[in-house]
Amino acid sequence: MPHWYIKLAIHRAISWLPYTQSWNYLLKKYVAKTTTTNKGGFEFRVEQARRIHENYRAYSPQPREEFTALELGTGWYPMIPIALYLCGASKIWTVDIVPLLRPDAMQTTLRLFIARTWMISVVKSS
C-alpha cells in the first residue's frame, strides 16, 4: 500500500475529531516532524522578505520608510512578517484561513532572529 494512502486515512480520521487543527499540529510535530524549521528555510524566508521590500521600493510610485504589509497564509512561523517589520513596516496584517500560529512557534521564530542578528543588517540594507 502506498504511504500516501496511510497519510490520507490518518488525515481523514483526524478530520472527524474535535479540534482538528490541534491534532494535525501534534501529528506534524511529533510524527512527521514538519512543523520545525531549519537554517535554510529561515534564511530563504528572510531573503523573500528582503526581495518583497526591495520590489516595493523599486516599483511603488511613492515608497515610504514606514509602510503597511499584508501577508496571506502566515503559517506556523511568522518569519516574513517579522522580517518586514525589520524592513520598516509600521503595521503588519497577517491572515490565515486556519490560524496555525502558536506561542511556542512564535518563540522559536524570535530565537531564530536573535541567533542570527547578522541577518537583521541584511534585511535592513534592502
Query: Any alpha helices (H) in the chain, and if so which ranges?
Result: 3-15, 20-26, 39-59, 79-87, 103-115, 117-124
Pairing of strands 67-72, 89-95: parallel
Give pTM, 2 decimals: 0.74
Rounded (10°) CA dihedral 63, 69, 71, 76: 120
Contact indicator for 75, 42 with CB cutoff of 8 Å: no
What's residue 107's pLDDT? 92
pLDDT on residue 121: 65
Structural element, H or E, at residue 90:
strand 89-95
Q: How far apart are CA 125 and CA 45, in angstroms?
A: 16
| pLDDT > 70? residue 21 | yes
Return the C-alpha cell found at 20.
Answer: 482538528
68 pLDDT band, cuts 50/70/90, is very high
Alpha carbon distances (Å) from 82 to 11, 39, 74, 89, 125: 31, 16, 11, 9, 15
CA dist 124 and 109 (Å) reads 18
What pLDDT was estimated at residue 99?
83
- Listed by start position, the domains of the chain span 1-35, 36-124
pLDDT confidence bin for 104, thresholds 50/70/90: confident
pLDDT for 72 equals: 93
Q: Return the percentage of the chain with pLDDT > 90, whole number.
A: 29
